Amino acid sequence: MSNENLTVAMPKGRIFDEAVELLRKAGYSLPPEFEESRKLIIEVPEAGMRFILAKPMDVPTYVEHGVADVGVAGKDVMIEEKRDIYEVLDLKISACYMAVASLPSYNPNSEVAPKIASKYPNLTSEYFREQGEQVEIIKLNGSIELAPIIGLADRIVDIVSTGQTLKENGLVELETMMPITSRFIVNPVSYRTKSAEIDEMVDRLADVIAAKEGRE
Ligand SMILES: Nc1ncnc2c1ncn2[C@@H]1O[C@H](COP(=O)(O)OP(=O)(O)OP(=O)(O)O)[C@@H](O)[C@H]1O
Ligand SMILES: O=P(O)(O)OC[C@H]1O[C@H](OP(=O)(O)OP(=O)(O)O)[C@H](O)[C@@H]1O
């Protein structure tokens, strides 16, 4: 394998297992340490690679600053963070979508500047600006579905996957905003200085994705 000192930023949490599986299928023999340890930096010297394990929302930050050459980040995070990085491949893993939801009793025309709770203030503000609707955004860090139930917000903008969280909390989806999958991202300088290694990685991943799609 020709990768020389490539640092890969991986998102911990939901995306992690699927991303590791994809990399293994692409021929990178990642040690069991990936699943078993709490280490945040994992060296894979035989592949000339180093992996850093970060919070999903922080992956583009590491890549933008160049301390990681490449990384894996959700499209939601890419839209929210607006970092100066390249998004080179849709990995088509961790699929979900972003939606607007509310209590079923909520009348969308009842407020002048409705309150929208979200973990994604930038994405939310951009979306409503494009819709031409004036809103007040309330930034939360999780349990977003709580906000309309407890009276903190009129609507929420959040990720939906199975729809179970909305359903169990008595909320309904008002609008589907955008589909979300994880992306392979690259630092622009690394893309020039380590182009052979990065291109090889992108090609291998693209082959696995194409093969998976062929089977579906
Ligand atoms: N049902 C889902 N809910 C949230 N994120 C999802 C879902 N399905 C896929 N994803 C993807 O996973 C990423 C979030 O992963 P995860 O929930 O592990 O991290 P997090 O938001 O930092 O969570 P926490 O704050 O609970 O640690 C998102 O950026 C999104 O692209
Ligand atoms: O449609 P579903 O399959 O129910 O998934 C969607 C839920 O999962 C995420 O929350 P998460 O579990 O990450 O908790 P959080 O509220 O702390 O972000 C997301 O924010 C939704 O609440």
Residues 147, 189 share a domain: no
- Give the closest ligand to the alpha carbon of residue 12: 1
**Per-residue pLDDT, 93:** 98
What single-letter amino acid sits at 37?
Answer: S
Mean pLDDT of 82-92: 97
Residues 88, 22 share a domain: yes
- Closest C-alpha residue for ligand 2 atom 19: 159
- Rounded to two decimals, the pTM is 0.95
The pair of structure tokens assigned to 12 is 């911990």
Q: Which residues form ligand 1's pocket by a CB distance below 6 Å? A: 13-15, 55-57, 74, 76-77, 94, 96, 142, 159, 161, 180, 182
DSSP 82-113: --S-EEEEE---S-EEEEEEE-TT--TTS-SS
**Per-residue pLDDT, 165:** 98
pLDDT tier at 107 (50, 70, 90 boundaries)? confident
Residues 80, 12 share a domain: yes
Give the strand pairing for 96-102 and 172-180.
antiparallel
Q: Which of 148, 153, 155, 147 is nearest to 131 (CA)?
A: 155
ipTM greater than 0.85, yes or no? yes
Mean pLDDT of 35-55: 94
**Per-residue pLDDT, 1:** 43
Residues 110, 48 share a domain: no
Residues 197, 170 share a domain: no
- Give the closest ligand to the alpha carbon of residue 54: 1
- Closest C-alpha residue for ligand 2 atom 13: 142
**What CATH number corresponds to the domain at position 134?**
3.40.190.10
The response to whether residue 97 sits with its C-beta less than 6 Å from ligand 2 reads no
pLDDT digits (tens, 9 = 90+) for 112-126: 899 999 999 999 999
Half-sphere exposure of 202 (CA within 13 A, CB side): 18
> What distance in Å separates the CA atoms of residue 179 and residue 131, rounded to the nearest whole number?
17
Mean pLDDT of 43-58: 96
Please give the share of the chain, as a percent, with pLDDT higher than 90.
91
**Per-residue pLDDT, 186:** 98
Question: Which domain covers residue 139, as residue numbers?
Answer: 96-179
Per the domain annotation, does 201 fall within a domain?
yes
Residues 90, 101 share a domain: no
pLDDT digits (tens, 9 = 90+) for 139-165: 999 999 999 999 999 999 999 999 999
> What distance in Å separates the CA atoms of residue 19 and residue 165, rounded to the nearest whole number?
24
Sheet holding 86-90, edge to edge: 41-44, 49-54, 6-11, 70-74, 182-186, 86-90
The per-residue pLDDT of the chain, averaged, comes to: 95
**Per-residue pLDDT, 214:** 85
pLDDT tier at 4 (50, 70, 90 boundaries)? low
pLDDT tier at 110 (50, 70, 90 boundaries)? confident
**Per-residue pLDDT, 209:** 97
Residues 40, 50 share a domain: yes
Residues 70, 13 share a domain: yes
Number of domains observed in the structure of the chain: 2
- Give the closest ligand to the alpha carbon of residue 178: 1
**Per-residue pLDDT, 108:** 83
pLDDT of 29 strictly over 90: yes
The response to whether residue 162 sits with its C-beta less than 6 Å from ligand 2 reads yes
